[in-house]
Amino acid sequence: MEKVYSPAAIEQRLYQRWEAAGYFSPRPAERSYCIVIPPPNVTGTLHMGHAFQDTIMDALIRLHRMRAEQTLWQVGTDHAGIATQMVVERQLNAEGKRRTELTREAFVERVWAWKQQSGSTIAQQLRRLGASVDWTRERFTMDPDMSRAVVEAFVRLHQEGLIYRGQRLVNWDPVLGTALSDLEVLSEEEDGLLWHVRYRLAAGDGQLVVATTRPETILGDVAVAVHPEDERYRALIGRKLLLPLTGREIPIIADSYVDPAFGTGCLKITPAHDFNDYAIGMRHGLPLINIFTPDARLNDNAPAHLRGLDRFQARERIVAELEAAGLLERIEPHRLTIPRGDRTGAVIEPYLTDQWYVRIAPLAAPAMAAVESGRVRFVPENWDKTFYRWMRDIQDWCISRQLWWGHRIPAWYDEGGEIYVARSAAEAHAQARARHGREVALRQDDDVLDTWFSSGLWPFSTQGWPEQRPELERYYPTNVLVTGFDIIFFWVARMLMLGLKFMGEVPFREVYLHGLILDADGQKMSKSKGNVIDPLDIIDGIDLEALVAKRTTGLMQPQLAAGIERATRKQYPNGIAAYGTDALRFTFASFATQSLELRFDLGRVAGYRNFCNKLWNAARFVMLSLDQAAPPPAAASAHAAAPSAATSAIDVANRWIRSRLGATISAVERAFEQYRFDYAASALYEFTWHEYCDWYLEIVKPVLQDTGDAAAQHAARRTLLEVLEALLRALHPLMPFISEDIWLRVAPLAGAGGPSIMLAPWPQAAQFEHDAAAETELRWLMQVVLAIRQIRGEMDISPARRLPLLLQHASASDLQLAQRHHALLSRLAGLESARPLAAGETAPPAAAALVGELGLLVPMAGLIEPASELRRLGKRLQKIEQELTKSRAKLAVESFVNSAPADVVEQERTRLAERESERAALLRQIEQVRALAQEPV
């Protein structure tokens, strides 16, 4: 093995081997375990959020695979209608072309070409992460069989009246020229203006002043509303106003929606361009006047000289004209929420169109019931509140999009506009024939479905639905959905509704919602902020120039480049080092707390890279020590010989490390069950570094190197190997590569070979039985060693200097342990000698420490300055006295002694007693050292 762990040398090679060998495919077993990957955009690239959630899923999958369950991680990608269409449109624009210059067929063909070209990027990136997805079952939401599922779902929902076509106001993105669902609209507060406009009474005997944020929509006004109780305007209700600029007559109506306190208390009503006005218009039977074209220019309902103006130009012109006509009373600044399309950032226009909707209430009710009854469980649990709130107020889902890329809506129209929803054109024609008694010409709906409609079917469409395939039976419902909370409405809720609808069962038993990865400053990572870290750059490393180039090219706002470059150079003066996949994965695991926000910290990655190196070198040590091994003693003689001191000492240590490993395995299992990957990571880290390496390896060294005891050496080597081998298996779900690489070398020696650690069984805690006696004994050993090291450290005694040690007040058990572990103590604490004080022997001046009642004395002669020992003792004394004061105070409170549970009181008394005897010992010690200090040298 190389001296330094080098992830680049092992990772890709191992993954290729695994994939080629087909290890990612499920192997038949009684129990199954299935996770579907949240399908990433096919043309996208892997970001930190993906890497995080894929790490979690892979860890779960690998654990269950090792438990010999029939484990499937279903992989695939999403066609991502809007996002992908936009990317390809941008490419066209760069070539100086426009989408509309192409035929629909030509454009779609071009998107497919782009998908072929870029679709493998994310798949390759997933491989780099070590994701053990079953590539042989990869799906794409636009695959023919997936499309068939989409059509089937649409047709069935339509047949049941759960999909309908309706004309109403939608969120219209004028840049894309499509409708959007409510979820795809982001509202943010922005600075705007409030224009106060005069509307004159038709009779010429007065005016109303109306406050509006959108003066251009005056052209579509059909009324002005006031509150029915508003004394100021009560008398005017029912009278007519002249619409400014056009002179069209509109009524003054009364509606309690109007807030008399806002603005002037007069609200202009534009039903075709505002959701509230639409509702009011409906209530009052008012007409709708649409004044915009689909790209938000004024249409023919506007006065001739304004037609064709963009809505923002129109606003300027209309304000100017109002001003000129003396109809503009005043303008004031105003904060308002502006709705924007989540992809384009364009201001959303409420716009009257025909769209397809899913009637959501009948689907939402069973979904809520499933969560309420616990058939689906959110982790962390409190997400159910968010879910319920949204589901209660949910509006019908607009599923049609005026795009070219996506699943074409399976609806056809005849010349009369009659609709035929069918699984195929032929079926539609048949329906039309039946209706008309003759063949009629049909035209398919031009629109496509919302991407999330097909995503919502993912857990069963990937398994062949609507066909009843065995895998559908086997893997539905899936066990857990792992995803970000930001997608709970878009995806989780819809899968739940559609899964219940079509499969009659929830699509997953549990939903693990993880937090959002932020940069080190707590900012969301985004291209425009220039703070994006590519997970692959952490794995492979990247130099500063490449990182700067990556962050500053292709910006939507190129003027940000300079600032981004400056910040990047400051934050990563040396670029990013190559840490490897395992370190990155372990970092993600350790980040997987229940927190909503996770600040990514490269320091943590470096720490876990070091951890990998530690593990690597521990393995090296084990391998090296095996190379030096003498042949094991013959079984008979090993048993016949009386156990030597070395044997019985190492035997306790062997039992101890096995006991600790067992506890670690249990802790990891518990952690996985609770989705607390941070607990799993820290249990493994703690055991590997601070128990196996810090103690066990050090304990084993003298046995292996200093003694000629073959039986002890043999037992130590076996334990070294067995524990390492099982530890690697326990580490594998989080660190697949390094664990495999080492395991392939180690396992055969441990008699646990196999083609891959992936297929090896998950370690059984029961095989590493808990051993309380060994743990107690090792705790004693460690405390003694630590106490002596502390003296050495604080007294600045060179590690090379061997110390004599005297034991004071040693119990029989202390003496026995000291004798058994004499060699170890000497080695680990650097002792020259160790012996108990003889009866009646006066202790020499010494630095002292206590382990329970046992006093550890390091004679000071020539080693220790009395002054520094006094300082050390003084510090200890101070601390003890503080604790004593607290303890005494507590026990002095009668109510505590009376009301607190007996064991708590007892514990406090014990603590007090211990502190008191420690204090006494310290005082004696101080006295003695002080006397020494005063003696002339």
If binding is defined by CB under 7 A, does position 598 make contact with RNA?
yes
Give, as ranges, the residues between 472 and 491 that touch RNA (CB under 7 A): 486, 489
Q: Are 138 and 124 in contact (CB under 8 A)?
A: no
Q: Which is nearer to RNA, 648 or 899 (CB)?
A: 899
**Nearest distance in Å: CB 288, RNA:** 17
Give, as ranges, the residues between 118 and 177 that touch RNA (CB under 7 A): none
The phi and psi torsions of 278 (rounded to 5 degrees) equal -60, -45
Give, as ranges, the residues between 391 and 420 that touch RNA (CB under 7 A): 393
CA distances from 367 to 407, 460, 511 (A): 25, 16, 13
Site string for RNA, 658-697 (x = CB under 7 A): --------------------xx--x------xx--xx--x
Q: How far apart are CA 886 and CA 893, in angstroms?
A: 11
Q: Where are the alpha helices (DSSP H) in 830-865?
A: none
Give, as ranges, the residues between 168 and 207 that touch RNA (CB under 7 A): 182-183, 186-187
Q: How far apart are CA 795 and CA 573, in angstroms?
A: 40
Contact with RNA (CB under 7 A) among 596, 641, 815, 923: 596
For the CA atoms of 522, 528, 534, 538, the dihedral, rounded to the nearest 10 degrees, stands at -50
**Nearest distance in Å: CB 696, RNA:** 9
Q: What DSSP letter does each residue of 338-354 carry, written as one string?
A: EEEETTT-PBPEEEEEE
**Nearest distance in Å: CB 260, RNA:** 6
**Nearest distance in Å: CB 715, RNA:** 19
In the block, tokens 């024939």 appear at: 433
How many positions of this chain bind RNA (CB under 7 A)?
95
Q: Which is nearer to RNA, 211 or 370 (CB)?
A: 211
Q: Tell me what percent of the chain is helix, strand and coil, each rounded to the nearest 5.
A: 50, 20, 30
Contact with RNA (CB under 7 A) among 875, 909, 924, 930: 875
Q: Which stretch binds RNA (CB under 7 A): 15-23, 259-267, 282-290, 548-556?
A: 259-267
Q: How far apart are CA 391 and CA 365, in angstroms?
A: 8
Q: What is the DSSP letter of 265?
A: S
If binding is defined by CB under 7 A, does position 263 make contact with RNA?
yes
Taking phi over 0 as left and psi of -120 to 50 as alpha, with beta for the rest, 192 belongs to beta
Contact with RNA (CB under 7 A) among 114, 140, 164, 275: 275
Contact with RNA (CB under 7 A) among 886, 916, 926, 933: 886
Q: Which is nearer to RNA, 127 or 872 (CB)?
A: 872
Q: What DSSP letter does each residue of 24-79 carry, written as one string?
A: TS----SSEEEEE--PPBTT----HHHHHHHHHHHHHHHHHHHTT-EEEEE-EEB-
Q: Which helix (H) or strand (E) holds 900?
A: none
- Cis previous bond, 477, omega within 30: yes
Q: Which is nearer to RNA, 624 or 931 (CB)?
A: 624
Picking from 375, 488, 481, the residue whose alpha carbon sits closest to that of residue 35 is: 481
If binding is defined by CB under 7 A, does position 701 make contact with RNA?
yes
If binding is defined by CB under 7 A, does position 329 make contact with RNA?
no
If binding is defined by CB under 7 A, does position 261 make contact with RNA?
yes
If binding is defined by CB under 7 A, does position 322 make contact with RNA?
no
Contact with RNA (CB under 7 A) among 361, 630, 766, 893: 893
Grouping H, G, I as helix, E, B as strand and the rest as coil, residue 408 is: strand
3-state secondary structure 202-246: CCCCCEEEEEECCHHHHHHCCEEEECCCCCCCHHHCCCEEECCCC
The phi and psi torsions of 679 (rounded to 5 degrees) equal -65, -45
Contact with RNA (CB under 7 A) among 228, 260, 836, 844: 260
Contact with RNA (CB under 7 A) among 597, 832, 841, 906: 597
If binding is defined by CB under 7 A, does position 601 make contact with RNA?
yes
If binding is defined by CB under 7 A, does position 613 make contact with RNA?
yes
Q: Where are the alpha helices (DSSP H) in 301-382?
A: 311-324, 361-372
Cα angle 852-854-855, degrees, rounded to a multiple of 5: 120
If binding is defined by CB under 7 A, does position 378 make contact with RNA?
no
Q: Which is nearer to RNA, 62 or 792 (CB)?
A: 792
Contact with RNA (CB under 7 A) among 25, 246, 444, 593: 593
If binding is defined by CB under 7 A, does position 276 make contact with RNA?
yes
Non-local CB neighbours of 194 within 8 Å, separated by 6+ positions: 211, 212, 213, 263, 331, 332, 333, 334
Q: Which stretch binds RNA (CB under 7 A): 86-94, 114-122, 631-639, 882-890?
A: 882-890
Q: Which is nearer to RNA, 49 or 263 (CB)?
A: 263
Contact with RNA (CB under 7 A) among 132, 178, 212, 654: 212
Q: Which is nearer to RNA, 118 or 594 (CB)?
A: 594
**Nearest distance in Å: CB 212, RNA:** 4
If binding is defined by CB under 7 A, does position 585 make contact with RNA?
no
Give, as ranges, the residues between 778 and 797 that touch RNA (CB under 7 A): 786, 789-790, 792-794, 796
**Nearest distance in Å: CB 433, RNA:** 43
Give, as ranges, the residues between 729 and 768 that touch RNA (CB under 7 A): none
Contact with RNA (CB under 7 A) among 259, 295, 841, 881: 259
Q: How far apart are CA 499 and CA 612, in angstroms?
A: 42
Grouping H, G, I as helix, E, B as strand and the rest as coil, residue 407 is: coil
Q: Which is nearer to RNA, 362 or 793 (CB)?
A: 793
